[in-house]
Amino acid sequence: MQFFNDSVQSAVIDDEIIDAESGGYKTEEDSVDPIDPKSARREAVWGMKRELIMDAAIKVMAREGFMSVRLEEVAEEAGFSKAAIYHYFPDKEALIMNIVIREHRTVYERLAEVSERGLSLVDSIRELTATLHKTLFGTVSGGGALGPMSMLSPSMLSTIVVSMTKHEDLFNETIGWRKKMNDILIKIIARAKADGSFTIPIDDRSVCLYINAFYQAVMMEQMHACHADNNDANSYSEAIHTATDKLLLLFSPWIKEKV
């Protein structure tokens, strides 16, 4: 990680040129010529710095609490100046939504890998559970939780809602990733039905929505647990895996393999 940080920081001079040329916060409308090596390098540096900032934000939220976090604190944690942070995220809400998008993308990519491996429905659901736990409730040394969901409590959801409404484009991007995840899950369900290993008499999309609703309920329970249990990462792991066992038990009459 130190090598990564040093590599990014070494490009600060080029990055100042990016900021001067772009006039500040970079938007999706900013185009990059993929043939131009300098342009591609600037884009790569810009992306790496955004990743550093999002990682720093999660650390600050876990340490200081979600509601009190300010971009200035995130900038300090990431090793940026107070003004530089605004070249990457215009406000706290945009930062939050980009973290949410990143975690959705991570879950989608993992689910896509699971689908490509052709695992059974049972194994696919267990892999999805492991991915959700690692992505949303990731841990650091000492057992403390360090993931976007680990520092949330129900009272903080209003901030997330504000983030969604303030940055509708980012909210729509989040929804896009959720649709992609659903499409892959539907594909896994359809494959299990086609090979006869899953015989539930319900259409694939409804099964997908049921699984989604189930996991959302688990996440809500875990938000309460995060707040009450002082971020006990072991309790998250046990709870989410126990919940998965219950989900598979509900499906067991129609699953033609050992659950």
Q: What is the CATH number of the domain that holds 180?
A: 1.10.357
Give the other-Cβ count within 10 Å of 113's Cβ.
Answer: 13
Structure confidence at residue 217 (pLDDT): 80
201 in a structural domain: yes
Structure confidence at residue 189 (pLDDT): 96
Look up tokens 């900038």; give the residue: 75
Render each residue's pLDDT in the chain as its tens digit; 259 residues: 433 344 444 444 344 333 433 444 454 445 445 567 788 888 888 899 999 999 898 888 877 776 778 899 999 999 998 888 999 999 988 998 898 888 889 889 988 998 999 999 999 999 888 887 777 666 433 333 445 555 455 545 666 677 778 898 998 998 999 999 999 999 999 999 999 999 999 999 999 999 988 888 877 776 666 555 554 556 666 777 788 898 999 999 999 987 6
105 and 15 together in one domain = no
51 and 135 together in one domain = no
8 and 135 together in one domain = no
47 and 173 together in one domain = no
259 in a structural domain: no
224 and 146 together in one domain = yes
HSE value, Cβ hemisphere, 13 Å, CA-based, for 220? 6
98 and 223 together in one domain = yes
Structure confidence at residue 139 (pLDDT): 44
168 in a structural domain: yes
HSE value, Cβ hemisphere, 13 Å, CA-based, for 126? 10
Q: Report whether 66 contacts 156 (CB < 8 A).
A: yes
114 in a structural domain: yes
102 and 147 together in one domain = yes
- Of 87, 110, 143, the position where a domain reaches its end is 87
Structure confidence at residue 141 (pLDDT): 34
128 in a structural domain: yes
- Of 39, 64, 87, the position where a domain reaches its end is 87
Structure confidence at residue 156 (pLDDT): 58
183 and 240 together in one domain = yes
C-alpha 237/C-alpha 243 separation (Å) is 10
- Of 87, 108, 133, the position where a domain reaches its end is 87
Can you give the residue range of the structural domain that contains 126?
92-254
209 in a structural domain: yes
198 and 80 together in one domain = no
164 in a structural domain: yes
C-alpha 244/C-alpha 134 separation (Å) is 15
38 and 148 together in one domain = no
Which tokens hold the place of 11? 């490009």
81 and 100 together in one domain = no
What 169-175 contacts at long range (C-beta under 8 Å, 24+ apart), as own/partner pairs, is 169/28, 170/94, 170/97, 170/98, 170/101, 171/97, 173/101, 174/97, 174/100, 174/101, 174/104
24 in a structural domain: yes
Domains in the chain: how many in total? Answer: 2
169 and 244 together in one domain = yes
